[in-house]
Amino acid sequence: MGLHPLVRNGLATSIALAFAFLPQSASARGICLLHPQPFKLQSDTIRWSIRIKPSDECIQGLRWSTLMIDNISIVEPPKSGRLVIQGPAFRYFSSTDGAGTDSFKIEITGTSLHVNGSSSIEVEVTSQ
């Protein structure tokens, strides 16, 4: 019996390695932002909400099926947490000083179905 095609091509190893390097907090595994509304790169503004524990982090990818992202920039940084752009994703680190709210805004530029455009994402963060 031969190897499964994914294993033979090394994809299974790549996937396993990718998961091995993710932080082990619940928020970092994607629970902090459920069902994000997609942006369209048509001068649209989308609002997302994150629920996160103090001293935790949230990773959110920004790729969608028909989009090619050229740039992601921080328009308004968070006031108490920390925000880092990593490839086609962002990582938000909540502050350590307990419950509260925070917010930030990012802008994405690129193309959707061969049309250039941009989107803004306003993120409201609730720390519990």
Spell out the domain ranges in the chain. 26-127
The SS3 call for residue 28 is helix
What digits encode the pLDDT tens for the residues 27-63?
Answer: 444 457 877 889 999 999 999 999 999 899 999 999 8
Tell me: the pLDDT tens digits for 21-33? 333 334 444 457 8
Pick the CATH number of 26-127 from 3.30.1360, 3.30.2030, 2.60.40, 3.40.1440: 2.60.40
Q: What phi and psi, each to the nearest 5 degrees, are found at residue 19?
A: -70, -30
